[in-house]
Amino acid sequence: MPLLPGTATLGVMGGGQLGRMFVQAAQSLGYTCLVLDPDAASPAGVVAHEHLCADYLDPAALRELASRCDAITTEFENVPAQALEQLAQTRVVAPGASAVAVCQDRAREKAHFDASGVACAPYAVLRSDADLAAVPDHLLPGILKTARLGYDGKGQRRVTDRQQLAEAYQALGRVDCVLEQMLPLALELSVLVVRGAEGQVVTYPVQQNLHRDGILAVTEVPAPQVDDALQAQARASAAAIASGLGYVGVLCVEFFVLKDGRLVVNEMAPRPHNSGHYTMNACDVSQFEMQVRAMTGLPLREPRLHSPVVMLNLLGDLWFDAQGRERTPDWAGVLALPGASLHLYGKAQARPGRKMGHLNLTGATAEAARASARQACARLGLPDTW
């Protein structure tokens, strides 16, 4: 039986901006929300009905979360899997600990892609000096990535030869790593796939993404450079990956389109995703409401894109001028633009590179959305070409 709106309490492991937007979506449906996060000023904690301020492995806090919540989710992939396992002994936890554990380890993630029949970049797993010495020549040049705890370009090194590879392995602390062959990339895409406990799967439209310095900067939907056949392939691949995990909830699968037109999967995130924030204003159901629906057993319906959209990621750099002095971005000017919807995350302190919010710009056509986005970039001092 589904956990109906107005009758259940939902728990969130993690208090960041994704948790904040999940809580807001759950509250709009009538659910009570509890957040567990060690930061007393966490963005999700300050908007939830209650904030349990404790470590993710705190036994008393986990017992309280389990005793008071009907279902529990996680808002970032590095929540300890053992905490999710403990909670799952008595409560619905979505996504489950086993799926999250795969997403937390690049080596296991790559193996899952292989098992799902979805092509990824040629790779090798490095766990020892012997593995380092056995790396095939065709994997160089490549990108060396730590198997765990890497995100937004962190924990990665580009290497062109064996000497650089050895130096990078040493610099990354000789931890387990994955070396991926460097491929000629044309585009970056992502797909949000939503799977319910009974196996129902729905997908959002393919998102075309632009990253700067390893951090997502721009998302466009519909994807302007992707034909129908490639979109269908990406959505089917994402669905296969989610189904193979027995996943429940929103999963974001990121892809590369190579210069020869081939599609390869890059990585996945077991949660709503930065590239899916456009759904808050351009779709009839947001990725955050979909997460609520999946974990509570409510119906999943194919989401409808009702407006073309450009999403701009807003980093803390915008709060400083060229001389490094603090300033307030021109929100009034931005909000005067057609189709502009501003979402700030309630973070008290801006820092360069810190995700502070996002701006969605919808339009009657893709060209109109893009024109508004470029005007927004001009008013904020962001690059206006992508």
pLDDT for 214 equals 87
217, with CB counted inside 10 A (0-12, 13-18, 19+), is: middle
Helix (H) or strand (E) holding 237: helix 228-245
Give CA–CA dist 349/354, Å, rounded: 9
pLDDT for 70 equals 97
Give CA–CA dist 198/180, Å, rounded: 35
Give CA–CA dist 104/148, Å, rounded: 6
The letter for the amino acid at 89 is: Q
**CATH T-level fold of 9-93:** Rossmann fold (3.40.50)
DSSP per-residue string spanning 326-352: B----HHHHHTSTTEEEEE---SS--T
The letter for the amino acid at 107 is: A
Give CA–CA dist 34/192, Å, rounded: 25
The CA distances from residue 205 to 229, 243, 271, 282, in Å, are 13, 18, 17, 11
pLDDT for 81 equals 83
Segments making up each domain of the chain, as ranges: 9-93, 122-181, 185-380
pLDDT for 78 equals 85
Tell me which residues of the chain have a pLDDT lower than 70: 150-154
What does residue 61 show for φ and ψ, rounded to 5 degrees? Answer: -65, -40
CA torsion, ordered 8, 12, 18, 21, to nearest 10 deg: 30
The pair of three-digit structure tokens given for residue 82, joined into one six-digit string: 């053992």
The pair of three-digit structure tokens given for residue 40, joined into one six-digit string: 């007393």
Same fold for the domain at 9-93 and the one at 185-380? no
What does residue 15 show for φ and ψ, rounded to 5 degrees? Answer: -120, 20
The pair of three-digit structure tokens given for residue 342, joined into one six-digit string: 């501003």
Instruction: Tell me the CATH number for domain 185-380.
Output: 3.30.470.20
pLDDT for 151 equals 59
The single residue listed with the structure tokens 């996945």 is: 268
CATH 3.40.640.10 fits 122-181, yes or no: no
pLDDT for 38 equals 97
The CA distances from residue 273 to 126, 191, 252, 309, in Å, are 28, 10, 6, 16
pLDDT for 331 equals 98
Give CA–CA dist 355/375, Å, rounded: 21
pLDDT for 153 equals 56
The CA distances from residue 385 to 129, 133, 330, 378, in Å, are 44, 42, 20, 10
Own/partner contacts of 152-159, CB < 8 Å, gap of 24 or more, are 152/214, 152/215, 153/211, 153/213, 153/214, 153/215, 154/214, 156/214, 158/182
- DSSP structural state of residue 305: B
User: How far is CA 355 from its chain centroid?
Assistant: 13
- Yes or no: say if 215 and 353 are a contact pair by the CB < 8 Å rule: yes
